[in-house]
Amino acid sequence: MSSEELNTRTRILEATWKLLEQQPNKDVSMSAIARATGITRQAVYLHFASRTELMIATTEYVDEVKGLYQRMERIGAASSGIEMLEAYVDVWGNYIPEIYGIARALLRVKETDEAAAAAWFRCMDCLRDVSKQIIETLEQEDKLTNALSPPDAIDMLLVMLSIEQWELLTRDCGWSHQKYVNEMKKLLVQSFVS
């Protein structure tokens, strides 16, 4: 039964993803998604109960396809805190542009929808774990700055590498993606390593 059903579902997810990548700052409508999928608007609701649910599902779909967690393994393999930090910036900094469209959409929807906020914070929690791992490694090596306590350093690292921050630097300040990665590495080492 579900081969065909899954197919349509996946086609909706792909269309949503594609539209969001094309116009990350527009509110892509259910009609536009249906049109891009080649079905009616009502049919979308046969697969996703609401716009929010579709956005959450698309986020999960993209995460699955793009395999962030696999890429993150590089970080644990690094042999020092500084190397971990740099690997983090590399992996994450290269990941953001690939998921920016859907991430922006989820960020917008999160403001008014609890389920979306929960989904967003689930993602944030994963990133926080990575951040924590790095700060703790730096601390064990006695290389963590004493300007910040370890818990505060975890928060700060997370926020420094947030999508919002990336957006400000690349969109508003005109930094290239490569410049973001390079400068961010330098700044983070300067900020967190004593």
Residues binding DNA (CB under 7 A): 1-2, 4-5, 7-8, 27, 29-31, 38-43, 45-47, 49-52
* 8 Å CB contact between 44 and 34: yes
- Return the residue matching tokens 């703790």: 136
Nearer to DNA by Cβ, of 21 and 53: the residue is: 53
* 8 Å CB contact between 128 and 114: no
Measured CA to CA, the distance from residue 74 to residue 53 in angstroms comes to: 32
Q: Which of 5, 26, 64, 150 binds its own copies (CB under 8 A)?
A: 26
Least spacing, CB of residue 43 vs DNA, in Å: 3
In the shown chain, the binding pattern of residues 58 to 87 toward its own copies, with x for contact by CB under 8 A and - for none, equals: ------------------------------
The gap from C-alpha 194 to its chain's centroid, in whole angstroms, comes to 29
Q: How far is CA 144 from CA 90, 99, 118, 137, 183, in A?
A: 20, 31, 31, 9, 19
Q: Which does 147 bind (CB under 5 to 8 A by kind): its own copies, DNA, none?
A: its own copies
Look up residue 89 and give its DSSP letter: H
Q: Which positions from 137 through 176 interact with its own copies, judged by CB under 8 A? A: 145, 147-148, 152, 155-156, 158-160, 162, 164-165, 168-169, 172-173, 175
Least spacing, CB of residue 56 vs its own copies, in Å: 18
Q: Which positions from 119 through 138 interact with its own copies, judged by CB under 8 A? A: 121, 124
Please give the structure tokens belonging to residue 17. 């993803």
The gap from C-alpha 134 to its chain's centroid, in whole angstroms, comes to 18
